[in-house]
Structure 1
């Protein structure tokens, strides 16, 4: 049953070569799908009914998948490192501080994503997707919900096995609590002065500009590692109540001003926190909207810009305890 499903990612030392273990994530959906292409030859032939069985070749085209999770205050570093261009960390006492940044070029590693799917008769089948490179990501926070992170991947190849000894072990964080809306705070700064906004919804997205179809005439159907081919685009949206204070944000939009944006999250696990800093954002619309059955709502879509002073467009600081994991290898479920 679905409770026996599992997913984990492991950093690859070489693109397309699986590591020896994975870090477990509590994914909320299974979207990992392989792509195949058929090369078909059809020409004039007497008595042909349709395409011949011996004129079709199948080609492995890789595929795509997403890892959608509620963001935990422990154990999210690997997934974040896939989404950002640069990752560094330092240890101090019992905590580890990760810093993830956007940059002019991507140094993000590739990963192997192992999706374990249970059959109805109790057998676990592990699908190993190698050469996984992040192409897009989205972080969302909304009242009455957990904070979620969704990272989209392109992968090079996939294989599967139902032999437990061939399945990569999964390391889960020993303990972790989800970030949620009650401990999420948004700060906007206009000309150095904070501007209050009673926001009930936040989203932040990244399109990493990756070229994923790097196939060549090299007697090998597998593609090479994706590379950046376009300028990344980072966007977001805030939604809240329209007030005398938030009117200043509408005025900033009309004037085309560049303002500062920050999100602070406090973890329930001792010593944990997360901070997102964007020193230069610019609102792209829109006007507040009045309603007959609610307060006036202020929706503020924005674009994240390069501040031009050497600082990253986005810096995410993630503080967690020094990793301690509980190793869980796949075993066949009971045959009930």
Structure 2
């Protein structure tokens, strides 16, 4: 088959054994951006008559695999990546829905290790035939970023750390979910006022206060802060074990028009706020019992704002660009939940 430079694919499969390649089972509309870095060491010793580094004194130090994968989250398939990044998921049918609608509730794992994955990128040669597969093994999700802004689809980025790349595995046949629709900022509701009711296995979270009407963009990042060691004897320059979890960091940012003093005062007084971002797609997954729709919801019990106080904006509407950090408040069962309603039977 003749290809163009647009004909690349990204497929992912969950590994049974760290670093052992598997056939990809899920395919995402994404750019191919994995990197394979061969790091070398050069001898520091000298030899008479040799003024240039000697080839046989330039030796392998280690191999690093990393890369980002950015997708636009849709009503199918996202749970696979959420599980890879957070590590724990419950998956339950919402009662009486027909066809069955599943609610996935994703939370941060408290135990090593995250699952590892094989990522296969198939890239087209310029002016040539079939795509060329690059298969990356031992890939673990170091972080995710979820963001959105007025007028655009949401974005979901996974940053991977991997073990190795091979080029002799045939390209897997691609397949993509049918009837998957994009979540956009238009589908969103953002709230930070009132008392939080946490999600259950089948119910969404809620806030007692009204949703905000002044947020124009947002981002939420979850960093697993995986270690980058494990280059032990016998590994041939590759990691000999899975990456281990570090202290998780959950941060974010919102841009808010200056319509009231709630965010200003919460920053000045360092008052913790809940944060609930809910994106309800108009696609009806099940007409029974009550037009259940696809949902992506991010639920955070406690954030502290890092600024800023409002300043003038040259006569244009005043906005606040506000960074925040997520904390474990000791009362909520989790510091963050990500809830996903979908027709997918499994994450």
Alignment TM-score, normalising by the size of structure 2? 0.85
Structure 2 residue runs without a partner (length 5+)? 197-207, 286-293
- When residues 269 and 191 of structure 1 are mapped into structure 2, their CA distance, relative to the original with a 3 A threshold, is closer
Partner Cα distance (1:219, 1:292) in 2: 59
Superposed, 1:69-84 pairs within 5 Å as 69-84=71-86
Equivalent position of 1:159 in the other structure: 166
Is 1:11 the equivalent of 2:14?
yes
Partner Cα distance (1:45, 1:194) in 2: 76
**Paired residue secondary structure (2:63):** strand
| CA displacement 1:134-164 (0-9 Å, x = unmatched) | 1121110100110000010001000114x7x
**Paired residue secondary structure (1:249):** helix
**Paired residue secondary structure (1:172):** coil
| CA displacement 1:118-139 (0-9 Å, x = unmatched) | 0011231010110111112111
- When residues 322 and 134 of structure 1 are mapped into structure 2, their CA distance, relative to the original with a 3 A threshold, is closer
Superposed, 1:1-336 pairs within 5 Å as 1-27=4-30, 29-92=31-94, 93-106=99-112, 108-120=114-126, 121-161=128-168, 166-190=170-194, 194=209, 196-218=212-234, 220-223=236-239, 224-229=241-246, 231-244=247-260, 247-271=261-285, 272-309=294-331, 311-322=333-344
| CA displacement 1:61-86 (0-9 Å, x = unmatched) | 13111110111111111111122131
Deviation at 1:210, TM superposition (A): 0.9
Partner Cα distance (1:189, 1:240) in 2: 14
Equivalent position of 1:333 in the other structure: none
Deviation at 1:310, TM superposition (A): 5.2
**Paired residue secondary structure (1:4):** coil
**Paired residue secondary structure (2:121):** strand
- Give the structure with the larger strand fraction: 1
| CA displacement 1:221-259 (0-9 Å, x = unmatched) | 221210013x21111111121112xx1221111111111
**Paired residue secondary structure (2:17):** coil
Partner Cα distance (1:316, 1:219) in 2: 36
State the Cα RMSD in Å.
2.0
| CA displacement 1:160-188 (0-9 Å, x = unmatched) | 14x7xx22333321220110011111011
Partner Cα distance (2:323, 2:235) in 1: 47
Aligned residues: 317
Equivalent position of 1:332 in the other structure: none
Structure 1 residue runs without a partner (length 5+)? 325-336
Partner Cα distance (2:321, 2:44) in 1: 55
* Contact 1:176–1:269 (Cα < 8 Å) also in 2: no
**Paired residue secondary structure (1:170):** coil
**Paired residue secondary structure (2:167):** strand
**Paired residue secondary structure (2:234):** coil
* Contact 2:24–2:118 (Cα < 8 Å) also in 1: no
Alignment TM-score, normalising by the size of structure 1? 0.88
